[in-house]
Amino acid sequence: MAGIKDVAAEAGVSVATVSRVLNGHPSVSQEARTRVLAAVEALGYRPNAVARSLRTAQTRTLGLVISDVLNPYFTELARFVEEEARALGYSVIIGNADERPDLQDHHVRTLIDRRIDGLLVSPADGGTPLLRDVALSGTPMVFVDRWIPGIDVPVVRADGTGAVRDLVAHLHGLGHRRLAIIAGPAATTTGDERVEAFRGALRDHGLALPDAYIGQGDFQAASGRRATEGFLELAEPPEVVFAADNLMALGALDAIRARGLRVPDDIALAAFDDIPWFVHTGPPITAVAQPTADLARAAVRALADRIEGRTPQSVTLPARLVVRRSCGEAAPNERSDR
């Protein structure tokens, strides 16, 4: 593969001049510039990004570590992150943690070893020592969706409290009084937060959230199934199950069907995170939708700000309720899908 020396030789100039032309440096004669460009064209020369990165100490690459690529919410997030990053001239390397702290650490370490310019993280857990160290070491970092309290890094996320309140109002309006939630891992911020938002909204309607109505999940479908089975075995099972993410909602749907029950007639179902498939499930599922594209854009911009020496800002965007049929027939005046 042709190197910068070959180009210099071909154009009859020094490597310094070639480099200057390629980087748009002003002091190069028109003459030299055209000769170099011609040589580049002739040889099909492409600069070696590895060598360039070594010298300049920047890779124009962002790392994105997410907790689970198979979760459509994160897939979508990743897609938009890459899109915005590309627009700003960065590449993205994705690391999938599969909700495993050890895998998360593996990816963080590899990314740091590759000297990525900045790190976007949606932590799978309460924060391993590694993540703290990285943040402390001055590597530009931004949390997206989930974050770790006590680590001083900008956070870009959606606030679900308003939407959850709307959801509870909707459920209450349909006559439901016994509402249960399948929570995420307590170690994740989104885990807690969604439970607390739910509890708060229930309180507004004079309802309590008994411990038996809080299922412990881990954001995976299987845990949603288990938690729902637990609910269904209760002497007084809930009338509604609210899953804190879309995969657990799917598990819940499984468990409900396995019992021969019907949604929403026998039990209602709602989920956090809206995904395209929820339109097509039987029945379509009512969900709290996050502004994924905006979150991704804001996160990338915050990170780029941090990298390029500007001051990054934490951003919180509101989520919104999308009513479908899984909690009972929507009243005609309620907001519906889209």
Partner DNA sequence: ATCATCCGTGTAATCGATTCCACGGCGTCG
Partner DNA sequence: CGACGCCGTGGAATCGATTACACGGATGAT
Q: Which residues bind DNA (CB under 7 A)?
A: 1, 3-5, 12-20, 22-23, 26-29, 31-32, 47-48, 51-52, 54-57
**Nearest-approach distance from CB 272 to a second copy, in angstroms:** 17
**Nearest-approach distance from CB 257 to a second copy, in angstroms:** 8
Q: Which does 234 bind (CB under 5 to 8 A by kind): a second copy, DNA, none?
A: none
**Nearest-approach distance from CB 79 to a second copy, in angstroms:** 6
* Residue 209 or 300 having the CB closest to a second copy: 300
Element (H, E) at 315: strand 315-318
* Residue 26 or 276 having the CB closest to DNA: 26
Cα 169 to its chain centre, rounded Å, is 27
Relative to beta strand 179-183, strand 155-159 is: unpaired
**Nearest-approach distance from CB 87 to DNA, in angstroms:** 22
Which range touches a second copy (CB under 8 A), out of 148-156, 204-212, 233-241, 246-254? 246-254
Can you tell me whether residue 66 is helix, strand or coil?
A: strand
Element (H, E) at 268: strand 268-272
**Nearest-approach distance from CB 37 to a second copy, in angstroms:** 18
User: CA–CA separation, 124 vs 96, rounded Å?
Assistant: 10
Listed in sequence order, the DSSP H helices in 119-184 are 129-136, 161-173
**Nearest-approach distance from CB 322 to a second copy, in angstroms:** 16
Mark residue 89 as left, alpha or beta (left: phi above 0; alpha: psi -120 to 50; beta: remaining).
left
Task: Find out whether 36 and 42 touch, Cβ atoms under 8 Å.
Answer: no
Return the structure tokens found at 31: 């003459």
* Residue 29 or 316 having the CB closest to DNA: 29
Residue type, 8: A
Return the structure tokens found at 77: 């997030």
Name the residue with tokens 């019992």.
259
Name the residue with tokens 């890459």.
82
Q: Which residue in the set 49, 208, 261, 331 belongs to the binding site for a second copy (CB under 8 A)?
A: 49
Binders of a second copy in range 278-317 (CB under 8 A): 279-283
User: CA–CA separation, 132 vs 129, rounded Å?
Assistant: 5
x/- mask, a second copy, residues 74-93, rule CB under 8 A, reads -xx-xx--x---x----x-x
Nearest to 335 by CA among 318, 319, 323: 323
Can you tell me whether residue 30 is helix, strand or coil?
A: helix
x/- mask, a second copy, residues 195-234, rule CB under 8 A, reads --------------------------x-------------
Q: Which does 31 bind (CB under 5 to 8 A by kind): a second copy, DNA, none?
A: DNA
* Residue 130 or 214 having the CB closest to a second copy: 130
Q: Which does 240 bind (CB under 5 to 8 A by kind): a second copy, DNA, none?
A: none
Q: Which residue in the set 129, 175, 276, 309 belongs to the binding site for a second copy (CB under 8 A)?
A: 276
Residue type, 176: H
Cis link prior to 283 (omega < 30° from 0)? yes
Binding of a second copy by 262 (CB under 8 A) = no
* Residue 47 or 291 having the CB closest to DNA: 47
Nearest to 184 by CA among 174, 195, 173: 195
User: CA–CA separation, 124 vs 131, rounded Å?
Assistant: 11
Tell me which residues touch a second copy (CB under 8 A): 1, 46-51, 53-54, 59, 69-70, 72, 75-76, 78-79, 82, 86, 91, 93-94, 96, 106, 109-110, 112-115, 137, 221, 250, 253-254, 276-277, 279-283
